[in-house]
């Protein structure tokens, strides 16, 4: 399921901690919940991740890590953990239930880092997951224990001085000053400096950077000043806490005024961010945009900001949480937090708008990757827009609706429903933004199998849009009401609504992935009524338009329709080729609805090729995915026909016992494993089995289930 490649890469050498690593390995071998505790900056995260890498091979389903340090809203805890685990779930059940089901039969190590701001909620979640999943183990890292019964603790102290503390400082200093003299006096001063910083790794690393401009003696003298300046907290508190604040505050004092201001303003970001975002959000008369790059480079040089390379060759930045919080305290002192959060929101609102436009085009895969990286900041923008601090909730409604492609196209239905519900609750005032949020909410609810909620919000959307003259929202509401009719097997009504919606789209000049999906769904409605040739013409037209625009997501559904038509026409070779291409696209976008339909069809093709047991394994894998999608086969007789026929044939050929065993084998496959299994499954083309029907018999009127209803 995973590998060490899923864990954040180490950017610097790991120093010391041999004893702690050995103890942690022993705890992982005997305990189910181990928490590494200690002050901020002591190295909890590095130790936990290093131990996880070492233990990876001991867990059949590998290791996953979730960073909660940027999470301030406990309501998003389940969504954040589900995102890190890549939990496939489109159902109406809550993310907690989806998480529990996902880990239930997995042998997995979950690393939970930085839970302090959502500690109570995290403790409840971890306890529930451990109860539900006997083979799950959790390695947590935080300033305090989670407080769960059975929790094993490893308190992490600062590095010893002399010893590893000095070695860490020396290695980091050597990267700044390669010819650092190791004279006796210099060595004594190094030991004194490390001791004054209590061997705290973050403090040592921040201090090492100072050697770029200062000598060790200079650092010691300035450190004296900083201690006196920054010991205004509780004098009875742990010295190491004051040392961390000293190290950070001292770096702050050594920054230029522009760097200090930028540091404060950067605190409004979560997770990773790029230079363009910084230039827009943080620039102003007192910090010109032209000076941002230089100031940011200064913060990078002082280890206040970490620079990271993107897989696409770009550059992103990140702040340690303790450093970010220090900047946030200065931003609050400047009384500029509200304005900065609004500018942050505006940038990510613009980003979402451009991503929605780019989704309909050749950059779909890039958009999917971009929103995955930007999700922490998009969440912050949504939260600001909907938490009552913003004067116009319509902005949040627009943002939640504009991200439909993130919720639907990238497999985040549960989180999308969360934000869309908040958006609609924020204000009942009619507006174009609210109308968009309504039809998107109806779309998401429908895909989760919640038809009652979907019909309510879509009918409200249609009535409101018609009253206000919002032609686009009316078309989208009619379209999605057609989807409801389709999955309810009311095919004449579905066809009428789809044709009405497509006509409305044409009149207003609307063309995008949703519009094309409406035509694919129309193809399904007419095919289910027996008109296969018209369905093929509609799907081929969608395929051509997708080719003209570089669209891939909707293309996968059109290919599925054409693949199924090829099967009905007696061409299983072409059916396999088209359906495999459909599945490969769905897998790349993490689109469970399209992927599970493709798996069902490939199972049918595989059975025809003579690999009956492999076909049963694929059906088992599809069954597990249906549990994540929602209502199995949408509760529709039309959608169920291919599965039912394949199951009947497999039971006849394998017998119930072998068939059931193969289903269980497929049911143990993850989404990634199931897709790779289907795309590489053994095939044996043979004349020993009859060709599929040519549009008649068992599957008459039940062709391709494009089914993003």
The CATH number assigned to the domain holding 83 equals 3.40.50.300
In terms of residues, how long is the chain? 709
SS3 call for 444: helix
Over residues 153-182, mean pLDDT: 83
Q: What's the confidence (pLDDT) of residue 535?
A: 92
199 with 262, same domain?
no
Q: Is the pLDDT of residue 344 over 80?
A: yes
| Closest to 397 measured CA to CA, from 365, 431, 372, 350 | 431
Is 515 within a domain? no
d(CA 546, CA 118): 44
Per the CB < 8 A criterion, the answer to whether 682 and 611 are in contact is: yes
pLDDT in tens, 380-419: 999 999 987 667 889 999 999 999 999 998 888 889 999 9
Those residues with Cβ within 8 angstroms of residue 192's Cβ, 6 or more apart along the chain or in another chain: 220
Assign residue 238 a region: left if phi > 0, alpha if psi is -120 to 50, beta otherwise?
beta
d(CA 587, CA 702): 24
For Cα atoms 669, 417, 438, give the angle at the middle one, nearest 5 degrees.
Answer: 135
Which burial class, exposed, middle or buried, applies to 656 when counting CB atoms under 10 A from its CB (0-12, 13-18, 19+)?
exposed
Q: What's the confidence (pLDDT) of residue 74?
A: 84
49 with 136, same domain?
yes
User: In percent, how much of the chain has pLDDT > 90?
Assistant: 56
Q: What's the confidence (pLDDT) of residue 190?
A: 83
Pair of tokens at residue 642: 């291919």
Buried b (16+ CB within 10 A) or exposed e, 435-459: bbbbbbbbbbbbbbbbbebbbebbe
SS3 call for 284: strand
Q: Which residue has the tokens 């010109």?
A: 288
438 with 327, same domain?
no
Give Cα 370 distance to the centre of its chain: 11
d(CA 269, CA 378): 10
* Axis-axis angle for helices 257-266, 321-333 (nearest 10): 110
181 with 92, same domain?
no
Q: What's the confidence (pLDDT) of residue 698?
A: 47
Q: What's the confidence (pLDDT) of residue 184?
A: 40
d(CA 117, CA 458): 37
Per the CB < 8 A criterion, the answer to whether 674 and 5 are in contact is: no
Q: Is the pLDDT of residue 140 over 70?
A: yes
d(CA 109, CA 63): 5
State which residues form the domain around 469: 352-510
356 with 496, same domain?
yes
d(CA 14, CA 11): 9
127 with 190, same domain?
no
**Runs of H (alpha helix) within 7-94:** 18-30, 44-55, 77-85
CA distances from 421 to 203, 430, 482 (A): 44, 15, 22
pLDDT in tens, 201-230: 888 887 887 787 778 887 777 765 443 323
SS3 call for 554: helix
Q: Is the pLDDT of residue 681 over 90?
A: no
Of 642 and 111, the structure prediction assigns the larger pLDDT to 111
Banded model confidence at residue 680, pLDDT cuts 50, 70, 90: confident
pLDDT in tens, 510-562: 999 999 999 999 998 998 888 889 999 999 999 999 999 999 999 999 999 89
266 with 243, same domain?
no
d(CA 569, CA 575): 9
Over residues 465-489, mean pLDDT: 94
d(CA 572, CA 593): 22
Is 393 within a domain? yes
Pair of tokens at residue 155: 């308190």
**Runs of H (alpha helix) within 509-591:** 513-528, 532-549, 553-568, 572-589
Per the CB < 8 A criterion, the answer to whether 159 and 134 are in contact is: no
Q: What's the confidence (pLDDT) of residue 63?
A: 92
Half-sphere exposure (Cβ direction) of 288: Cα atoms closer than 13 Å: 3
d(CA 251, CA 154): 30
Is 534 within a domain? no
User: Looking at beta carbons, which pairs linking 332-338 to residues 24 or more positions away fall under 8 Å?
Assistant: 334/264, 336/264, 336/265, 337/268, 338/389
Q: What's the confidence (pLDDT) of residue 395?
A: 94
Q: What's the confidence (pLDDT) of residue 177?
A: 80
Q: Which residue has the tokens 């290791």?
A: 63
d(CA 545, CA 548): 5
SS3 call for 149: coil
- In the DSSP assignment, the letter for residue 178 is T
DSSP string, 288-327: -HHHHHHHHHHHHHTTSEEEEE-TTS-EEEEE-HHHHHHH
Is 548 within a domain? no
Round the average pLDDT of the chain to a whole number and report it. 86
Half-sphere exposure (Cβ direction) of 572: Cα atoms closer than 13 Å: 20
Per the CB < 8 A criterion, the answer to whether 426 and 393 are in contact is: yes
Q: What's the confidence (pLDDT) of residue 389?
A: 64
Q: Is the pLDDT of residue 696 over 60?
A: no
Q: Is the pLDDT of residue 603 over 60?
A: yes
Q: What's the confidence (pLDDT) of residue 241?
A: 43
136 with 38, same domain?
yes
Q: Which residue has the tokens 């998003």?
A: 76
241 with 382, same domain?
no
Is 40 within a domain? yes
Over residues 316-325, mean pLDDT: 84
Pair of tokens at residue 583: 């599945």
Those residues with Cβ within 8 angstroms of residue 151's Cβ, 6 or more apart along the chain or in another chain: 33, 34, 35, 145
SS3 call for 4: helix
Per the CB < 8 A criterion, the answer to whether 84 and 76 are in contact is: no
Is 521 within a domain? no
- In the DSSP assignment, the letter for residue 343 is H
Over residues 607-631, mean pLDDT: 89
Domain stop point among 477, 510, 543? 510
Banded model confidence at residue 691, pLDDT cuts 50, 70, 90: very low
Q: What's the confidence (pLDDT) of residue 191?
A: 87
Q: Which residue has the tokens 């497929």?
A: 666
Q: Is the pLDDT of residue 152 over 60?
A: yes
Q: How many domains does the chain have?
A: 5
Give Cα 674 distance to the centre of its chain: 20
208 with 133, same domain?
no
Give the least confident one: 85-89, 506-510, 687-691. 687-691
Banded model confidence at residue 584, pLDDT cuts 50, 70, 90: very high
Per the CB < 8 A criterion, the answer to whether 83 and 67 are in contact is: no
Banded model confidence at residue 694, pLDDT cuts 50, 70, 90: very low
Q: CATH number for the domain including 288? A: 1.10.10.10
pLDDT in tens, 292-318: 999 999 888 777 888 888 777 789 998
Q: Is the pLDDT of residue 235 over 50?
A: no
Domain stop point among 218, 236, 253? 253
Pair of tokens at residue 285: 């008369």
Q: What's the confidence (pLDDT) of residue 86?
A: 85
Q: What's the confidence (pLDDT) of residue 247?
A: 63
145 with 14, same domain?
yes
| Closest to 47 measured CA to CA, from 136, 155, 127, 197 | 155
End-to-end CA distance of the chain: 30
Over residues 33-51, mean pLDDT: 89
249 with 292, same domain?
no
For Cα atoms 143, 145, 151, give the angle at the middle one, nearest 5 degrees.
Answer: 150
Is 538 within a domain? no
Is 524 within a domain? no
Q: Is the pLDDT of residue 291 over 90?
A: yes
Q: What's the confidence (pLDDT) of residue 2?
A: 42
- In the DSSP assignment, the letter for residue 273 is B
d(CA 685, CA 582): 21
Q: What's the confidence (pLDDT) of residue 109?
A: 94
Those residues with Cβ within 8 angstroms of residue 676's Cβ, 6 or more apart along the chain or in another chain: none
Pair of tokens at residue 268: 């409004």
Q: Is the pLDDT of residue 237 over 60?
A: no
Domain stop point among 253, 282, 298? 253
Give Cα 454 distance to the centre of its chain: 25
User: Looking at beta carbons, which pairs linking 326-329 to residues 24 or more positions away fall under 8 Å?
Assistant: 326/245, 326/248, 326/249, 326/252, 326/263, 327/263, 327/264, 327/265, 327/266, 327/267, 328/264, 328/267, 328/268
């Amino acid at each position: 399921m995973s590998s060490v490649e899923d864990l954040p890469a180490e950017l610097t050498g790991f120093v010391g901690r041999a004893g702690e690593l050995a103890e942690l390995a022993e705890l992982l071998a005997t305990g189910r919940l181990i928490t590494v505790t200690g002050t901020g900056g002591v190295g909890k995260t590095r130790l936990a991740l290093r131990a996880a890498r070492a233990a990876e091979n001991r867990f059949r389903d590998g290791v996953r890590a979730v960073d909660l340090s940027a999470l301030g809203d406990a309501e998003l805890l389940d969504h954040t953990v589900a995102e890190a685990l890549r939990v496939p779930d489109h159902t109406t059940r809550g993310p907690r239930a989806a998480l529990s089901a996902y880990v239930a039969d997995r042998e997995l190590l979950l690393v939970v880092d930085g839970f302090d701001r959502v500690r109570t909620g995290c403790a409840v979640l971890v306890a529930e997951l451990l109860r539900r999943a006997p083979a799950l183990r959790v390695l947590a890292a935080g300033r305090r224990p989670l407080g769960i019964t059975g929790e094993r603790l490893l308190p992490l102290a600062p590095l010893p001085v002399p010893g590893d503390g000095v070695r860490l400082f020396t290695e980091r200093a050597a990267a700044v000053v390669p010819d650092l003299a190791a004279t006796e006096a210099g060595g004594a001063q190094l030991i004194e400096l490390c001791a004054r910083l209590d061997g705290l790794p973050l403090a040592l690393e921040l201090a090492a950077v100072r050697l770029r401009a200062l000598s060790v003696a200079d650092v010691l003298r300035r450190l004296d000043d900083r201690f006196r300046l920054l010991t205004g907290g509780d004098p009875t508190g742990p010295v190491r806490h004051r040392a961390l604040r000293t190290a950070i505050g001292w770096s702050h004092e050594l920054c230029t005024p522009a760097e200090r201001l930028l540091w404060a303003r950067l605190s409004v970001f979560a997770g990773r961010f790029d230079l363009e975002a910084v230039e827009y959000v943080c620039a102003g008369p007192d910090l010109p945009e032209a000076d941002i790059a230089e100031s940011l480079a200064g913060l990078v040089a002082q280890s206040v900001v970490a620079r990271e390379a993107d897989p696409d060759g770009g550059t992103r930045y990140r702040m340690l949480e303790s450093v970010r919080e220090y900047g946030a305290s200065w931003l609050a002192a400047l009384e500029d937090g509200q304005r900065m959060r609004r500018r942050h929101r505006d940038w990510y609102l613009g980003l979402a708008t451009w991503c929605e436009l780019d989704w309909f085009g050749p950059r779909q895969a890039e958009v999917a990757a971009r929103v995955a990286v930007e999700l922490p900041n998009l969440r912050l923008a949504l939260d600001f827009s909907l938490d009552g601090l913003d004067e116009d909730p319509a902005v949040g409604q627009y943002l939640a609706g504009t991200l439909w492609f993130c919720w639907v196209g990238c497999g985040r239905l549960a989180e999308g429903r969360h934000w869309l519900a908040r958006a609609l609750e924020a204000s009942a005032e009619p507006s174009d933004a609210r109308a968009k949020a309504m039809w998107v909410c109806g779309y998401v609810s429908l895909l989760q199998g919640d038809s009652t909620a979907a019909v309510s919000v879509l009918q409200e959307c249609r009535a409101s849009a018609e009253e206000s003259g919002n032609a686009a929202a009316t078309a989208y509401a009619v379209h999605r009401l057609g989807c409801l009719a389709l999955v309810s097997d009311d095919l004449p009504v579905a066809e009428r609504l789809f044709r009405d919606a497509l006509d409305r789209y044409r009149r207003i000049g609307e063309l995008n992935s949703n519009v094309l999906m409406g035509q694919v769904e129309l193809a399904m409605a007419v095919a289910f009524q027996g008109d296969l040739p018209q369905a093929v013409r509609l799907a081929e037209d969608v395929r051509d338009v997708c080719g003209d625009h570089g669209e891939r997501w909707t293309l996968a559904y059109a290919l599925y329709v054409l693949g199924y038509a090829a099967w009905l026409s007696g061409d299983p070779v072409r059916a396999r080729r088209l359906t495999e291409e459909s599945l490969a696209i769905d897998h790349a976008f993490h689109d469970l609805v399209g992927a599970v339909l493709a798996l069902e069809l490939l199972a049918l093709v595989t059975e025809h090729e003579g690999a009956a047991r492999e076909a049963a394994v694929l059906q088992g894998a599809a069954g597990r995915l249906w549990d994540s999608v929602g209502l199995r086969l949408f509760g529709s007789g039309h959608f169920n026909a291919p599965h039912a026929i394949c199951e009947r044939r497999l039971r006849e050929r394998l017998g119930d016992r072998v068939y059931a065993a193969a289903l269980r084998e497929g049911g143990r496959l993850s989404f990634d494993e199931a897709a790779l299994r289907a795309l590489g499954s053994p095939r044996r083309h043979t004349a020993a089995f009859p060709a599929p029907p040519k549009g008649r018999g068992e599957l008459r009127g039940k062709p391709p289930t494009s089914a993003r209803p």
